[in-house]
Copies of this chain bind each other. A is one copy, B any other.
Amino acid sequence: MTSDGLRSRLKAEGLRLTPQRELVLAAVDRLGHATPEEVLAEVRQSSESLNLSTVYRTLDVLEHVGLIRHAHLSDRVATYHSVGGPEHFHAICRKCERVRSVDVSVAADFADRLRTELGFVADVGHLTIFGECEVCE
């Protein structure tokens, strides 16, 4: 995501481009899946100018304008990842804690079934499914 892309997305909502918003977006891009604390730590590698509450507010803004998404990979904290790669959901092993990113196409038939049988349109990209590896690595 370029700065210009970020700027235009923000502008469309009457929001401003700030250094903090650029830094947070870049950190989420680099980290893959990151909690707010992890984003803060990553940004602080290169700059002191960021506060945790700003991280929370900025993650909300970036999600609002559609540049990042969040998932619940643990019972405690949300993790954020940038939008741009293939849309995926998460499968997490309770034994080895491995997090798999699974392409949404794997859930396409399931989603169809929810729609036709229940009239429910699933947000597959937000899905996190817990379970166990048949054989952990």
Q: A59: shortest Cβ distance to chain B, in Å? A: 13
Q: Assuming A72-B72, A75-B72, is B133 touching A120 (CB within 8 A)? A: yes
Chain copies in the assembly?
A: 2
User: Which label, helix, strand, loop or mixed, suits the secondary structure of the A interface?
Assistant: mixed
Interface size class of A (residues with CB under 8 A): 20 to 34
A122 and B131 contact, CB distance less than 8 A: yes
* CB closest residue in chain B, given A102: B118
Q: Which 5 A-B pairs have the closest CB atoms?
A: A110-B110, A122-B131, A119-B134, A123-B131, A121-B131
Q: Which residue of B lies closest to A127 (CB)?
A: B129
Q: What residue of chain B has the Cβ atom nearest to residue A117's Cβ?
A: B106
CB of A93 within 8 Å of the partner chain: yes
Q: Smallest CB–CB gap between A78 and chain B, Å?
A: 7
Minimum C-beta distance from A50 to chain B (A): 24
Q: Chain A 66-107, CB within 8 Å of chain B: the 1/0 string? A: 000000100100100000000000010110000010100011
A115 CA to B100 CA in the complex, in Å?
Answer: 13
Beyond the given pairs A91-B122, A100-B118, A120-B131, 4 more chain A to chain B contacts, judged by CB atoms under 8 angstroms and listed by A's residue number, are A91-B114, A106-B110, A120-B133, A126-B129
Docked pose: A93 CA to B126 CA in angstroms: 13
